[in-house]
């Protein structure tokens, strides 16, 4: 049996068990239609019969039958069937069977054919038992008529044939109606399921729409024909799109730069998305309907077509106006701070030079003054770089500044400069490595790299701990290692230690001051020299940083 057949059979059983009762209003309308139709046919026959033979209305049984039909029709229209049991309506077709019997009694008219109306009504709307009872009433009436009128055997046979024909018609109609009701029951169930599914999908769409509307990034879906399929609140707000009329052009205008030239429609991000172009981090300036400028970072993502849908492109627009403004404020602050640092640095360098020129200090004192002078000169170079370049243009390893450099000399100078700091912290610093470590590099940036690594190791190592520094040649690389016995870094923070301004939880908990920039600068310098950096650490046991830089220029 097919799936549809099984579903229909289940619906039939459910209907027979009363699981899915018919609609009350529909049942009342059905009663009215059947009775009014039958009454109309009787009225037409009576009028036609009277016009042919006025004596017809003088037959008492016929007149009683007609009046009975009309009275039953009035009852069918005024009785509140919706408040009564469904079986109560069975009385109407049974009464109509009796009235038809009277219409056929003592007349030559073939009005017995009218029994097809109440029999069909019983067959289509009620159970098989009620149909059999109705056919039985018809048979009883015809038998009474044969006995009373003493008709011939041929007439009796004709009546029997009519009863059998009614029985066949009734059973056929009943089977068809039963299957039809089963199909209606099945359709109602499927309709409820589909309605429930649509409600679920609609609720899910509302949740997705609410979630996208809560995002500050503008998102729009554009078809290949240029139709705006969907958009979130952020996109509509940026481009001043009327949600009730999304097909209207946006009121915001895209420009190639701040107060630059307006982009033509074909050059705009929307048109490019409609053409299926894929791009990433495109910079666009948007002048909105309120007269404000927005810096946008725009990207697109092609969406594969779902069954029945057309291809489309997701357009993603992020407002980065505040980010750019923050960068400018940071550059301005860096410029101010750098400018203000020049004065004290100039004083330090000037006085240090004068002290060295006097020549009245012993060897250890002169070495300390040299350390102060070198540190001040490095800081002055950093200040000059910050003043002459923007934050996004600073290079941490200028190729033109590279030369043959000995990393061992840089290590010795750095270790000497940190000797006093290490002694004050109670940290032992030990160097274990080879003699000369030649490589082609920017010596100034390498000193910056070494100072950051050794300075961090000393700063985050408690008193009584140790810092081990080593340098060696490994094939075509120089390998620098700085290992300490400090507070360490949690495993979950290791992947983020190179992010600007990030500080591990152990560093924050220790209350040791810091900016979180050192390791990020170190990695940039290493990357610029074509090298690699690795960090391993264990909280409470220390950190091991290994830097590998090619000896030859890359």
223 and 137 share one domain? no
What are the pLDDT digits (tens) for 69-106? Answer: 999 999 999 999 888 888 888 889 999 999 988 888 76
312 and 334 share one domain? no
Residue 98: alpha-carbon gap to chain centroid? 68
Tokens standing for residue 324: 């750019």
37 and 160 share one domain? yes
461 and 411 share one domain? yes
Q: How far is Cα 445 from Cα 451, in angstroms, rounded to an integer?
A: 10
pTM > 0.95: yes or no: no
122 and 180 share one domain? yes
What are the pLDDT digits (tens) for 124-171? Answer: 888 888 888 888 888 888 777 777 765 566 666 766 777 788 888 888
Looking at residue 345, what is its pLDDT? Answer: 67
Structural domain ending residue among the three candidates 343, 358, 388: 388
Is residue 397 assigned to a domain? no
C-alpha torsion angle, residues 349, 354, 358, 360 (rounded to 10): -50
Q: Domain limits at 464?
A: 402-550
99 and 66 share one domain? yes
Q: How far is Cα 222 from Cα 271, in angstroms, rounded to an integer?
A: 9
Is residue 198 assigned to a domain? no
Identify which has the larger pLDDT, 199 or 347: 199
Q: What pairs with residue 470 in β-bridges? A: 481
Q: What percent of the chain has pLDDT over 70?
A: 83
Is residue 395 assigned to a domain? no
516: left (phi over 0), alpha (psi -120 to 50) or beta: left
Residue 126: alpha-carbon gap to chain centroid? 52
CB 535 within 8 A of CB 544: yes
What are the pLDDT digits (tens) for 423-471? Answer: 888 999 999 887 889 999 988 889 889 988 998 899 899 999 999 999 9
Looking at residue 508, what is its pLDDT? Answer: 76
Cα angle 393, 396, 397 (rounded to 5 degrees) comes to 115
276 and 236 share one domain? yes
Is residue 104 assigned to a domain? yes
Place of tokens 């481009």: 239
445 and 525 share one domain? yes
Is residue 245 assigned to a domain? yes
Rg (CA), the chain: 50
443 and 543 share one domain? yes
242 and 358 share one domain? no
287 and 353 share one domain? no
Structural domain ending residue among the three candidates 319, 343, 370: 319
Q: What pairs with residue 431 in β-bridges? A: 469
Greatest alpha-carbon pair distance for the chain in Å reads: 161
Structural domain ending residue among the three candidates 337, 360, 388: 388
Is residue 132 assigned to a domain? yes
Question: How many domains is the chain partitioned into structurally?
Answer: 4
Where does the pLDDT of residue 8 fall: very low under 50, low under 70, confident under 90, or very high at 90 and above? very low
Is residue 163 assigned to a domain? yes
Whether the pLDDT of residue 382 is over 50: the answer is yes
Of the listed ranges 170-184, 280-294, 371-385, the least confidently predicted one is 371-385
CATH number (domain holding residue 291) = 3.30.450.20
Q: Are strands 466-474 and 312-319 parallel, antiparallel or unpaired?
A: unpaired
CATH number (domain holding residue 491) = 3.30.565.10
Whether the pLDDT of residue 340 is over 80: the answer is no
Whether the pLDDT of residue 332 is over 80: the answer is no
What is the CB-side half-sphere exposure of residue 112 using CA atoms within 13 A?
A: 22
Is residue 204 assigned to a domain? no
442 and 529 share one domain? yes
Q: What percent of the chain has pLDDT over 90?
A: 17
């Amino acid at each position: 049996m097919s799936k549809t057949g099984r579903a229909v059979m289940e619906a039939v059983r459910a209907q027979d068990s009363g699981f899915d009762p018919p609609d009350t209003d529909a049942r009342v309308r059905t009663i009215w239609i059947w009775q009014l139709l039958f009454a109309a046919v009787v009225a037409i026959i009576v009028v036609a019969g009277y016009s042919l033979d006025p004596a017809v209305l003088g037959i008492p049984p016929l007149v009683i039958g007609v009046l009975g039909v009309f009275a039953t029709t009035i009852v069918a229209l005024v009785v509140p069937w919706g408040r009564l049991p469904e079986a109560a309506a069975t009385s109407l077709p049974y009464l109509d069977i009796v009235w038809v019997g009277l219409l056929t009694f003592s007349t030559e008219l073939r009005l017995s054919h009218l029994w097809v109306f109440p029999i069909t009504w019983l067959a289509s709307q009620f159970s098989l038992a009620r149909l059999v009872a109705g056919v039985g009433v018809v048979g009883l009436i015809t038998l009474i008529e044969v006995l009373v009128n003493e008709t011939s055997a041929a007439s009796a046979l004709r009546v029997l044939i009519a009863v059998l024909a009614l029985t066949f018609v009734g059973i056929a109609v009943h089977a068809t109606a039963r299957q039809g009701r089963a199909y209606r029951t099945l359709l109602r169930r499927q309709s409820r399921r589909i309605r429930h599914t649509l409600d679920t999908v609609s609720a899910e769409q509302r949740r997705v729409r609410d979630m996208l509307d809560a995002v500050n990034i503008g998102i729009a879906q554009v078809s290949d024909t240029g139709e705006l399929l969907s958009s979130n609140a952020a996109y509509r707000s940026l481009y001043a799109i009327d949600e009730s009329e999304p097909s209207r052009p946006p009121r915001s205008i895209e420009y190639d730069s701040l107060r630059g030239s307006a982009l033509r429609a074909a050059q705009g991000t929307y048109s490019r998305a409609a053409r299926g172009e894929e791009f990433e981090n495109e910079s666009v300036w948007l002048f909105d309907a309120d007269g404000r400028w927005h810096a946008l970072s725009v990207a697109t993502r092609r969406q594969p077509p779902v069954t029945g849908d057309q291809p489309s492109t997701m357009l993603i627009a992020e407002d980065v106006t505040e980010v750019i403004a923050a960068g400018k404020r940071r550059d301005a602050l860096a410029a101010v701070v750098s400018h203000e640092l020049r004065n004290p640095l100039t004083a330090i360098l000037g006085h240090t030079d004068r002290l060295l020129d006097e020549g009245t200090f012993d060897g250890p004192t002169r070495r300390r003054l040299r350390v102060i002078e070198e540190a001040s000169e490095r800081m002055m170079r950093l200040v000059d770089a910050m003043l002459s370049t923007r934050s996004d243009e600073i290079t941490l390893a200028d190729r033109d500044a590279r030369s043959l450099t000995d990393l061992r000399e840089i290590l010795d100078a750095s270790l000497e400069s940190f000797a006093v700091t290490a002694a004050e912290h109670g940290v032992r610093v030990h160097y274990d490595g080879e003699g000369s470590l030649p490589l082609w590099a920017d010596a100034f940036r390498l000193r910056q790299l070494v100072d950051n690594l050794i300075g961090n190791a000393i700063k985050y190592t408690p008193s009584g701990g140790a810092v081990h520094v080593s340098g060696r040649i490994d094939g075509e690389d120089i390998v620098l290692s700085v290992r300490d016995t400090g507070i360490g870094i949690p495993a979950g923070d290791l992947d983020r230690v190179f992010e600007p301004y990030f500080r591990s939880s152990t560093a924050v908990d220790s209350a040791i001051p810091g900016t979180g920039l050192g390791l990020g600068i170190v990695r940039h310098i290493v990357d610029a020299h074509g090298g690699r950096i690795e960090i391993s650490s264990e909280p409470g046991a220390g950190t091991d940083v290994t830097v590998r830089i090619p000896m030859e220029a890359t």
